[in-house]
Amino acid sequence: MRLLWQLVAVSVFSVLAIVAQPSAARTANEDTIQDVLMFNGVYLFGDSIAKQDGPALERRLLSRSGDPIAMDSRPGRATREAVDVLEDWSHRYGLPTRIVMAVGSNDVFDPRAFASQVERTMRIAGPDRTVFWVDVYVRRTRQPGAVQAVDQRNSALINRQLEAAAGRHPRLRVIHWAEFLTARPSRIRTSLRDGVHTTVPTGQDARNQLIVDALTQPR
């Protein structure tokens, strides 16, 4: 048991191993944000997975529907920080009718704090907007097996909380990234380069397609 907790402690201190990619946030400028509001586009708040995949997602969504998207994605971001930015944008600019939350991977270090942030998101969004939330899959393959097991257990806990929240909130729609990966074990190998981040282009294309499909379903 002591060894397990030592391994978990290592995983906590190596939080940046999940979403730590070089450089700072990718944040939309005000012109992009205003375009989204004018043309009823999409806001997205994410971590380093979304930061890496964001430009390709923007191109895919524009090609599919013509919708503009304004993103704020930062490496190492837990859900609480993403919701802070959502709240700030809601006060400074207002909100479109569709919001994507592509966060949760860093919450494997404190999964029980996740549910309250989902509830907070839904309060900010209000009853007339739809929140699309990408669920999480974390199993850091460069870490010892015991740490990988904790990652998987906590990912599952986060996803259960998300599904429970969707049952309470009709305007919360879960994008099932984890289910897509586990439906075929080979996808985990081909779609993830380290047990968390997408491979390019295979994993990136698959995850972005799930997001675009959700966003462009009849409202």
Amino acid at 189: R
Distance set, CA 54 to CA 127, 151, 192 (Å): 27, 24, 16
Per-residue confidence (pLDDT) for residue 24, from 0 to 100: 84
What is the extent of the structural domain holding 104?
A: 2-215
CATH of the domain at 83: 3.40.50.1110
Rg, Å, the chain Cα set = 17
Joined tokens for residue 60 = 């895919």
How many residues in total does the chain contain? 219
**Verdict on whether the full-model pTM lies above 0.85:** yes
In the sheet with 130-134, reading across from the earlier edge strand, the strands are: 26-27, 69-73, 42-46, 98-102, 130-134, 172-175
**Domains in the chain: how many in total?**
1
* CB-based contact 83:23 (threshold 8 Å): no
> Per-residue confidence of the chain (219 residues) as pLDDT tens digits?
434 433 443 444 344 345 444 458 899 999 999 999 999 999 999 999 999 999 999 999 999 999 999 999 999 999 999 999 999 999 999 999 999 999 999 999 999 999 999 999 999 999 999 999 999 999 999 999 999 999 999 999 999 999 999 999 999 999 999 999 999 999 999 999 999 999 999 999 999 999 999 999 986
Distance set, CA 86 to CA 7, 19, 164 (Å): 34, 20, 22
Q: What are phi and psi of 20, to 5 degrees?
A: -90, 100
Cis omega (within 30 of 0) on the bond before 201?
yes
Per-residue confidence (pLDDT) for residue 18, from 0 to 100: 53
